[in-house]
Amino acid sequence: MQDLSWETILKLAIQSIGVVFGDLGTSPLYVYAGIFQDGIKHKDDVLGVLSLILYTLMIIPLIKYVFIVLQENDNGEGSVTMICIAILNFLFAVQIFGTEKVGYSFSPILIVWFLFICLIGFYNFIRHDPGVIRALNPMYIIEYFRRNKKDAWISLGGVILCTTGAECMFANLGHFTMQSIQISMCSVVFPSITFSYIGQAAYLRNHTSNAADSFYKATPDSLFWPMFVVAVAAAIVASQSLISGSFSIVKQSLGVFTRERYTLLPSIRGRCSYQRSIGFS
C-alpha cells in the first residue's frame, strides 16, 4: 500500500469509528448484565470482574488486534424480526455509496456515543467509588475465583462479551489503514469504553442490586432519554462493522477465485489439446 499523508490517515481514523467499532463500542450496554445474571454476591466481586474486563480489553482488542494482528495485513487487506430485517437491508443498501460516505455518515453517531459513555463513566467514577481503580491489581481476579469457584469460570462467558466485534478491526483493513485504526482505537474507543466499565463498576459497588441494568441505572436521570436515543442509534450502526467486513472479505474472495480461474484455464486448454493430439478423448 502506498504511503499516505497524515491528513488522509486522520480522515480515515474518523471514518473508521463509524464503520469498525460499533460492536466493540456498544458492549458496555450488556456486559455486566451477562456476568452477574444471578446478582452480585459480594461487593468485591465487582472489583474482580472489572479487573477481568480491563485486562481482557488490554490483551485482546488492544494488544492482540491493534498492535499484533493488524501487522499481518497483506499490504492493506484484511481476513419483533421484521424491523431488524429492515435495518439490515438499509445498511446493506447504503454500501453502494462507498465506505467513505458511510463512514462520514455514521461516525458522528458513534463519536457522540463514545463521548457520552466516557463522560458518564467518569461522573460515576468520581461520584460513587473512585476506589474501583484498585481493580488494576490482578489479585482481585484471584480472589474473585477463590470466592466463586465454578460460577467465576462460568462468568467468563460474559466477560468475553467486552471484546465483541474486535475482529472487525482486521476484517475492515481493506477499507482503512493499519495506522488509522490504531489511532481511532487508542485515542477514542479504548479510553471511552474503559471509563464506561469503570464507571458502572463504581456505581455497582453502592448499588449491587442493579447489576441486570447497570448501564441505564448508572446514567443520570437528566441524561437518560438522550442517552437512550444515542444508544439505539449506536446499536443500529454497530451492525455496520460486520457488514463492511463481510463485503470486504467477499470482494477479496471473488478476486482470488477469478484470478485462479483465468490462471487455470490456459493450462486446462493446453492439456485438452495435447490429449486430443495423442488420441485421448
Q: What is the pLDDT of residue 279?
A: 45
Whether 123 shows a pLDDT value over 50: the answer reads: yes
pLDDT, averaged across the chain: 83
Percent of the chain's residues with pLDDT above 90: 52
Q: What is the pLDDT of residue 259?
A: 53
CA distance to 86, 205, 214, 247, per residue, from 31 (Å): 26, 16, 9, 28
CA distance to 63, 143, 145, 257, per residue, from 44 (Å): 27, 9, 11, 54
Question: Model confidence at 78, in pLDDT bands (50, 70, 90)?
Answer: very low
Question: Model confidence at 271, in pLDDT bands (50, 70, 90)?
Answer: very low
More confident position, 100 or 187: 187
pLDDT tens sequence across 236-266 = 887 766 666 666 666 666 665 555 554 544 5
Q: What is the pLDDT of residue 93?
A: 72
Q: What is the SS3 string spanning 97-122? A: HCHHHHHHHHHHHHHHHHHHHHHHHH
DSSP letters of 205-238?
A: HH-GGGGGGHHHHTS-GGGHHHHHHHHHHHHHHH
For residue 5, what is its C-alpha cell?
499523508
State the DSSP H helix or E strand holding residue 130, giving kind and residue range, or none if neither: none
pTM score, two decimals? 0.79
Give the CA count within 13 Å in the CB-facing half-sphere of 266: 4
Q: What is the pLDDT of residue 4?
A: 82
Please say whether the beta carbons of 216 and 138 come within 8 A: no
Cell 485421448 belongs to 280
- Domain definitions of the chain by residue range: 6-277
